[in-house]
Structure 1
Amino acid sequence: MDILIEHTEGVMAIAFNRPDKKNAITAAMYQTMADALAAAQDDHQVRAVLIRGSVGIFSAGNDLEDFMKAPPKGEDAPVFQFLRRISGFGKPVVASVAGAAIGIGTTLLLHCDLVYAAETATFSLPFAQLGLCPEAASSLLLPRIAGYQLAAEKLLLGEAFDAKEAQRMGIVNRVLSAAEVDAFALAQAAKLAALPASSLRVTKSLMKHAHEREIAVQMTDEAVHFGKMLLAPEAREAFKAFFEKRKPDFKQFD
């Protein structure tokens, strides 16, 4: 199973389990996660959700081969189902990040309530490097969380940054050793699961309510641009270069 779902004392853990592919996410994996979040929303036994990777890797982002074979089309595409579910999820979501979190591996964290990272964690948003644009409302949320200049640096250049910088930017709550991050994040999720569900639900709703429509609109706008750019020559050159293990040549395009 590329996605593992486990239940422990009120916490549903969603784990990426494709380490041989650096936990790159396929459409089937997005669908599994979307369905799990939908079920958890209505399951009174689930009081908090934990998202984590496998040993040494969180997620390399979209599986480009799968992505190119079946690019997301329409609102019902699995990736968009997942993004709507995690963005609108009414219960606490905790993330544990060890190793690399690339692309949506980073942007999904912007929709989590608590994020804990290992000292070994790295983050990157290489959309421009792939001839694409941001997704998951990151073009709205990252400037709001980190400030415009820091967000612009990460989204325009797409260069990797470490866990301490992610913490300074406000993406990560705390940085821990790789050996303890998963256990700590699970313990934090368990703390949340032991608290009154109604209090957590209302508190989260009050914090997020004012921005829900903005996020939904931004996701839609991003998806329109993303879909067009995915078919453009720049993205085709970026993906071709990726599979050929060379640097892309963007100078041929205006």
Structure 2
Amino acid sequence: MDNLILSNEKNNVLTITLNRFDKKNALNKAMYSELCRLFNYAEQTSAIHCVLIQGNEQCFSAGNDLADFLQHDGKEEFVAFKFVKQLAAFKKPIVVAVAGPAVGIGTTLLLHSDYIIASDNSKFKLPFSQLGLCPEAGSSAILPLKLGHNKAFELMVLGDLFFAQQALEYQIINKCCKPEELLPMATQVAESIAKLPQDSVLTARRLLKQTNQAAVEQALVNEAKEFTRLLETDDCKKIMQQFFG
């Protein structure tokens, strides 16, 4: 793994730190595999009551590593798809600390999280159509429920950049803060959740998610099918080739 993903357990919180800052925390196959392992560990470990995902005060994630798309042979499922299915089915609370770029999966994973804090240097973008691709991580089901069709279409198809204050208005995040406040604040929130009666927290979370769970699961299936198909289109291949010069 070369320490591209760091993890630490303290006060019943598993903190997962994205640590590929030279690539703006773009997630590659190895990182997704480690995320799957850590989420499986957290699910099965009774002492872990909450998961915190973070980068640092300047960078969260630039999204998927596009090089993985070029190398995919089409014969096996993307590890990224395995991760988002695991994320959608995860039963424990997830807190996320966002700073700097939150692109693609860097934004859509927030839709499965429970408490998100973003520093005021955050920049959100869903560039699916600009890459010749389609929404992923169940976002085609979740985002229209939050924003309505028109605004969800604007963000996912036009791919307009938006910032922390707008993300707060869109109810994608819970709170804005200064960069230097981000990680301590996120840790405090995660530890506060972890101190609560676990059965009560898990029950509340399950009830809150139950109405939309079937729709999200179906969206994951539909998105994976279309995403894989679009990767093979001439438009997408041309865009990828231009991206890599």
TM-score, with normalisation over the residues of structure 1? Answer: 0.93
Q: How far does residue 232 in structure 1 lie from its aligned partner after superposition?
A: 0.5
Q: Is the 8 A contact 2:69 2:231 kept in 1?
A: no
Report what 2:90 is aligned to: 89
Report what 2:186 is aligned to: 185
User: Match of 2:16, SS?
Assistant: strand
Alignment of 1:198-217 (within 5 A): 198-217=199-218
Q: Provide closer, same or farther for how the CA distance between residues 8 and 72 of structure 1 changes in structure 2, counting only shifts above 3 A.
A: farther
User: Partners of 2:55 and 2:206 in 1: how far apart?
Assistant: 27
User: Match of 1:57, SS?
Assistant: coil
Q: Provide closer, same or farther for how the CA distance between residues 191 and 64 of structure 1 changes in structure 2, counting only shifts above 3 A.
A: same
Structure 2 unmatched runs, 5+: none
Q: Is the 8 A contact 1:58 1:100 kept in 2?
A: yes
Q: How far does residue 92 in structure 1 lie from its aligned partner after superposition?
A: 0.6
Alignment of 1:1-254 (within 5 A): 1-70=3-72, 74-75=76-77, 77-244=78-245
Q: Is the 8 A contact 1:30 1:82 kept in 2?
A: yes
Q: How far does residue 156 in structure 1 lie from its aligned partner after superposition?
A: 1.0
Give every structure 1 segment of 4 or more consecutive aligned residues whose post-TM-superposition deviation is greater than 3 Å.
71-75
Q: How far does residue 73 in structure 1 lie from its aligned partner after superposition?
A: 5.2
Q: How far does residue 72 in structure 1 lie from its aligned partner after superposition?
A: 6.5
Deviates more, 1:186-195 or 1:150-159: 150-159
User: Partners of 1:211 and 1:167 in 2: how far apart?
Assistant: 21
Partner amino acid, structure 1, of 2:114: D
User: Partners of 1:71 and 1:143 in 2: how far apart?
Assistant: 32
Q: Provide closer, same or farther for how the CA distance between residues 72 and 197 of structure 1 changes in structure 2, counting only shifts above 3 A.
A: farther
Partner amino acid, structure 2, of 1:7: E
Q: Is the 8 A contact 2:57 2:182 kept in 1?
A: no
How big is the alpha-carbon RMSD for the aligned residues of Structure 1 and Structure 2?
1.2
User: Partners of 1:5 and 1:50 in 2: how far apart?
Assistant: 10
Structure 1 unmatched runs, 5+: 245-254
Partner amino acid, structure 2, of 1:5: S
Partner amino acid, structure 2, of 1:11: V
Q: How far does residue 74 in structure 1 lie from its aligned partner after superposition?
A: 4.6
User: Partners of 2:183 and 2:117 in 1: how far apart?
Assistant: 8
User: Match of 1:180, SS?
Assistant: helix
